[in-house]
Amino acid sequence: MEKKIASTTRQRTPKKLEPERNWFLFDAEDEILGRLAAKIAPILMGKNKVSWLPYLDKGDFVVVVNASKVAISGNKEEDKKYYRYSGYPGGLKTENLKVKRATKPQDIIYHAVAGMLPKTKLGRQMIKKLFVYPCDKHPHEAQKPVKMGG
């Protein structure tokens, strides 16, 4: 009778060394907001890499330009609302998308991408790698970001 040898092959957890991080550039001009955010979120999480693990932040940096020219479908320009709450009674502030686009257009993309990331410490760490600018100029030329479609 043969003895069965227990398999001791386990997946090795990688050391928490600084992973290789790339830079990507997205142009938001005439791109639909949700579709653009759905392309950016997996890159921030690192899901486009073979070494992805759900409990480690292995994502890349993303630069988004022309945030003020992002496309919105339907009547969302007037109907979509953004809420802020100070924590005090009567402290709920609302803004619609039209006002947000005029005042802080980078927050539109930031909010959409943040909604697709984990709501944990890890998600807050991932969103720090997103840089959004309202015009086509950005200060990250030295990092040589790779232009992505979309």
The chain-wide mean pLDDT, for the chain, equals: 91
CATH of the domain at 107: 3.90.1180.10
| pLDDT 10s digits, 5-64 | 655 556 666 666 667 899 999 999 999 999 999 999 999 999 999 888 899 999 999 999
Residue 90 placed within a domain: no
Residue 41 placed within a domain: yes
Residue 121 placed within a domain: yes
Number of domains into which the chain is organized:
1
Residue 77 placed within a domain: no
Q: Give the predicted TM-score (pTM) of the model.
A: 0.85
Burial label, 45 (beta-carbon count in 10 A; 0-12, 13-18, 19+): buried
The residue behind tokens 């001009």 is 29
